[in-house]
Chain A
C-alpha cells in the first residue's frame, strides 16, 4: 500500500509537470481521523498530499464528470478559436474505472479528456460498520497497519480487523482491479469473494411477496429525500433530475409514503445497466437505507437475462441501449 502511494505521488507529479493533465482528482487525508476526502491537485508540488488506502470511499468518476462538464460550460462563451480543453487525471480503482467506462459509452467526455491512474483495491472501510464496532464511540485518532486498524477512542485503544469493517459491496466485489487504465500502479489485487455477490439478493428472493413488500416499505420509510444518494452517484449526472422537474411533475413532494417509494423505484430503475456497485449512495445516506438490496437485483437480472455487467468492458454496449431479436420472451403474456 505504501509503495503504491509513493508511486502514485511520483506519477501525479510527472503527469502534472509534463502538462499531460491539468488536474489530478485523487484522495487526501480527511480533516477527521481515519477519513480520506477527494482532492484536486494542479501543482506538481502538491502531489505529496495524495493518499491511497482503505479509507478512500468516494467514487471519483463523479468528480471527473463534474470538472469536465463545468469546464466545458465555462467555455461556451469563449470564442471557438480560443477555447481550451481540460485533461483530468483520475485515481481509479475497479468501480471508478467502470463508472468512467459508462461515461465514455454515454458520450459524456472523450477518452482523450482523461488519464486514468489505475490502482488495485482491496476494499474500503464502511463508516457505519466501523461506528457499530466501536459502539458509537468517537474516533480520536487511528492508523491502519496491514489488515488491522488501531483506533483511539475516549475509552482507550481498540484493535479491529480490517476485513470486519469492509463495505458490503467491497467484500463481494468482482472488479476490484481497474478495467481500463493509462498508468497502472502496483500488482493487481487478489480476488474478493465474488462468488457470493448475489447471495443477499438470492436470499431476499426466497421471501414471500408480503415480506419483501414489508421490507421495502420499512426501508423507504427511513428515507428523508435529501437526495445525497443521487448527488454521490457517478451515474446521476443529469442536468435536471426527474425529481426536480415540475412539468410534468413526475413524483410528488408531499409526505405521502408512496411518493418516496416511487422516487426510489425510479432512481433505482435509472440504474439499470448503470450501477457499478461502488457503494457511494450507501456511504452517504444519512438514514442507512438499504439501497444495495434493490440495486443489486438489477445487476443480477441484467447479468442473468442479458449477460451484461455495467461498465465491465468498453466494447459491450450498456444493457438498455441494445437488444437481440430473439430474447427474454418468457415474461410476455400469452393467453
Chain B
C-alpha cells in the first residue's frame, strides 16, 4: 500500500481516558439521547482524573494512539472533592512538556465534561477527532517493533 493510499484509508485512533462519575456518564447520555459523534474514540474508564498516571498517556501514544483525550469533572465538582484539581497541575505540565519535546500539541487534549453534558461530550469528540485528523497519523514516540 502506497503512503497516499495509507493516508486515505487512515482514520484516527483516539484513546479517551474519562472519569467514571462525570464524562463516562456524559458519554452514556450522549448515546441514550442518540447524539451522533465520530466512532474514533476508545473509552477507558477510571475512577477519577486524579487516578490517571501521566504514564498512561505517554504509553497510549507509544502504543500507536493518534491522540489522547482526558476528561473529568469540572473544577469544584469532583466526586472526591479535589482529584481533578491535582490532576490539572499534572496535565498542564505534561501537555507543555510533550509539546516541548516535539510531540504535537494537538495529540493531547484535556477537558471537563459533566454527566449532564451529553451534547458537550459529542462536541468534544468531534473537535478532538478533527484536531487529530489534521495532524495526521502518529509518527513520533510510536513503537515500531
Binding site for B on A (CB under 8 A): 204-205, 209-217, 242, 250, 252, 254-259, 261-262, 265-266, 268-269, 272, 294, 297-298, 301-302, 305-306, 319-321, 323-329, 331-335
Contact = CB atoms under 8 A, between A and B. Distances in A.
Interface of B: 54-55, 58-59, 62, 75-76, 82, 85-86, 88-104, 109-112, 120, 123-124, 126-128, 140-145
B145 A216 contact: no
A213 B103 contact: yes
A171 B82 CA distance: 40
B92 A331 contact: yes
Contacts of A333: 109-111, 124, 127-128
B102 A210 contact: yes
A261 B141 contact: yes
Nearest to A211: B102
Nearest to A256: B145
Contacts of B85: 323-325
Contacts, number: 117
Given A259-B143, A325-B76, A333-B124, A250 B101 contact: no
B125 to A, nearest CB: 9
B145 A250 contact: no
9 contacts: A205-B100, A213-B101, A213-B102, A250-B55, A294-B101, A323-B89, A333-B124, A333-B127, A335-B123
Most buried by B among A252, A258, A302, A325: A258
Residues of B contacting A: mostly: helix
Contacts of B104: 209
Contacts of B98: 265
A325 B110 CA distance: 17
Contacts of A328: 88-89, 92
A258 B93 contact: no
A214 B86 contact: no
Q: Which 6 pairs across A and B sit closest by C-beta, in order of nearness?
A: A213-B102, A335-B127, A212-B102, A323-B85, A333-B111, A216-B101
Contacts of A269: 54, 58, 93-94, 97
A135 B85 CA distance: 52
A331 B103 CA distance: 16
A144 B86 CA distance: 48
A214 B145 CA distance: 20
A250 B143 CA distance: 14
Nearest to B127: A335
Nearest to A254: B145
B141 A331 contact: no
B97 A298 contact: yes
A297 B141 contact: no
B36 to A, nearest CB: 15
B86 A320 contact: yes
A209 B107 CA distance: 13
B127 A331 contact: no
B50 to A, nearest CB: 10
B112 A258 contact: no
A203 to B, nearest CB: 12
B126 A335 contact: yes
B121 to A, nearest CB: 10
A277 to B, nearest CB: 16
